[in-house]
Amino acid sequence: MVKIAFNTPTAVQKEEARQDVEALVSRTVRAQILTGKELRVTTQEKESSSGRCMLTLLGLSFILAGLIVGGACIYKYFMPKSTLYRGEMCFFDSEDPINSLQGGEPYFLPVTEEADIREDDNIAIIDVPVPSFSDSDPAAIIHDFEKGMTAYLDLLLGNCYLMPLNTSIVMPPKNLVELFGKLASGKYLPHTYVVREDLVAVEEIRDVSNLGIFIYQLCNNRKSFRLRRRDLLLGFNKRAIDKCWKIRHFPNEFIVETKICQE
């Protein structure tokens, strides 16, 4: 006897429900896996982007710091570290024919100058304009205490004349500042006397690059000559001198008249 079995509707429904659940679980798992991958990719992209931003900001910070430091150095180097002073003194010239007349009032000659005094560099740069009432030449003068040199640039001739710095008649920059302060305040009577230097140009200097940056800037590409005191030259022939000129300025509480002679 053969038994024939038939699936009941309930069994079929259970089988279909089981298949639906398995399909739903499979889709959910796949979705979770895909979502995890997307999250990992997004996280990696965010981390990479954050790293690039940090490197960019760090690079910009270094560049900005370099610009600030470089700008400060350039400012410190190129901007003047000095104060420009202007003053005037008058001196009695006993060799002036007017003052040689007896019974007359003494005639004082004025000397005006501008001084760029740089205490940090231990230097004084003096500009003597064209004098109004004397026979001296306009000049630019440098007294370099670091190099121990004095340079005269005669603005009429265009030549430079160099000699060792005479510290017995040239005040250090700090004292010059005090002197100009007295002149500006009127606390110092600017009637004084004159000290004379008699110098001779003895040889031409071909290279001034070793005399310091300030003298180099003043005398480069100009004819430059070394000066010697006339009284120190043995066998000096006065007849060999063709021309002489004077430069007057006050590097002290008195006037210095520098007479320069050249063949």
pLDDT in tens, the chain (263 residues): 444 444 444 554 556 556 655 565 566 555 555 555 554 545 555 556 677 777 788 777 778 877 887 666 564 555 555 678 999 888 877 665 555 555 555 567 788 999 999 999 999 999 999 887 667 899 999 999 999 999 999 999 999 999 999 999 999 999 999 999 988 887 666 678 899 999 999 999 999 999 999 999 999 999 999 999 988 776 655 555 668 999 999 999 999 999 999 87
Distance CA 63, CA 52 (A): 16
Q: Would strands 191-192 and 83-92 be described as parallel, antiparallel, or unpaired?
A: parallel
CA dist 128 and 166 (Å) reads: 19
Question: pTM of this prediction?
Answer: 0.66
Query: Is residue 195 within 8 Å of 166, Cβ to Cβ?
Result: no
Neighbours of 194 (CB within 10 A): 18
Q: Locate 87 and state its tokens.
A: 């003053």
Give the CA angle between residues 244, 111, 127 to the nearest 5°: 80
Selection from 159, 257, 150 nearest residue 214 by Cα? 150
Q: Helix or strand or coil: residue 103?
A: coil
CA distance 104 to 127: 33
